[in-house]
């Protein structure tokens, strides 16, 4: 034993050699599993946590996207009247969206049902227009200023042709009576009525054609006279569109 040293503390190496067994002392390291102790090699001075090595990249990407979305939403100005923080779409965008919805494929049954509903709506509008004279929903044969003037011209005067139906009923009743004189009168009435209707239609057509040429020199007038004559064959209360002028009133 060396001077100045006493017991185990003075010479630990000699004591460990002379002991019947060697006591192992664990070495504490600050590295990760499988790395060298501190001070050996190129081990970084700070320990690396295991969670950093085996982290999930998908969670990190989701977190980054959420943060960027929050930053973008916070920087974008919000329309106070827009719902859910979105700006009000432009009219062109809204119309394109409506067109895309309208052009969505439908089954044959749904398409037929939609066509029936549209046809029913159009017919209701036409009936209302025929009753009130609304030009927007009139049929194609009744539209236009020329046709309107022809209707007003016929409705403003007395026409013999409009009394054809009641006179035909009277003549038919007289012809069914088994009296020769009454049958002769019925035949004569047929002839007189037909002649009067033809003459009245010729005069009406000539006057209407002249008035149309004066009133609408640059408009297309084809078929307007025949349209007016066909209207004159109907009784006034049964005409469609409904008369808009009184008898004797100048159109």
- In the chain, domain spans: 145-231
Exposure b/e, 47-62, CB count within 10 A at least 16 = b: eeeeeeeeeeeeeeee
Question: For the segment 63-114, what is each residue's pLDDT rounded down to a tens digit?
Answer: 555 545 444 444 455 555 555 556 676 777 777 766 655 555 668 888 888 8
Tokens standing for 171?
Answer: 């003549």
Environment class of 239 (CB within 10 Å of its CB; exposed 0-12, middle 13-18, buried 19+): middle
Q: Answer whether residue 169 shows pLDDT above 80.
A: yes
Strand, helix or coil at 43?
coil
Q: Which is more confidently placed, 22 or 167?
A: 167
Question: For the segment 129-152, what is each residue's pLDDT rounded down to a tens digit?
Answer: 788 877 788 888 898 999 999 999
């Amino acid at each position: 034993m060396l001077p100045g040293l006493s017991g185990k503390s003075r010479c630990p190496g000699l004591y460990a050699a002379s002991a019947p067994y060697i006591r192992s002392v664990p070495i504490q390291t600050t590295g990760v599993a499988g790395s060298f102790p501190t001070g050996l090699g190129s081990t970084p001075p700070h320990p690396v946590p295991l969670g950093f090595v085996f982290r999930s990249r998908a969670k990190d990407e989701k977190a980054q996207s959420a943060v960027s979305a929050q930053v973008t939403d916070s920087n974008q100005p919000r329309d106070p009247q827009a719902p859910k923080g979105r700006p009000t779409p432009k009219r062109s965008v809204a119309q394109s969206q409506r067109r895309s919805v309208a052009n969505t494929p439908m089954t044959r049954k749904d398409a037929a049902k939609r066509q029936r509903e549209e046809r029913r709506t159009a017919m209701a509008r036409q009936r209302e227009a025929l009753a009130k004279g609304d030009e927007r929903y009139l049929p194609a044969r009744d539209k236009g200023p020329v046709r309107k003037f022809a209707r007003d011209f016929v409705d403003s005067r007395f026409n013999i042709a409009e009394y054809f139906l009641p006179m035909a009923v009277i003549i038919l009743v007289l012809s069914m009576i088994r009296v020769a004189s009454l049958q002769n009168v019925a035949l004569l009435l047929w002839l007189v009525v037909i002649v009067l209707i033809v003459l009245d239609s010729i005069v009406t057509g000539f006057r209407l054609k002249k008035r149309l040429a004066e009133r609408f020199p640059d408009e297309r007038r084809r078929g307007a006279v025949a349209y007016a004559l066909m209207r004159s064959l109907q009784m006034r209360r049964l005409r469609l569109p409904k008369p808009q002028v009184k008898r004797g009133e100048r159109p």
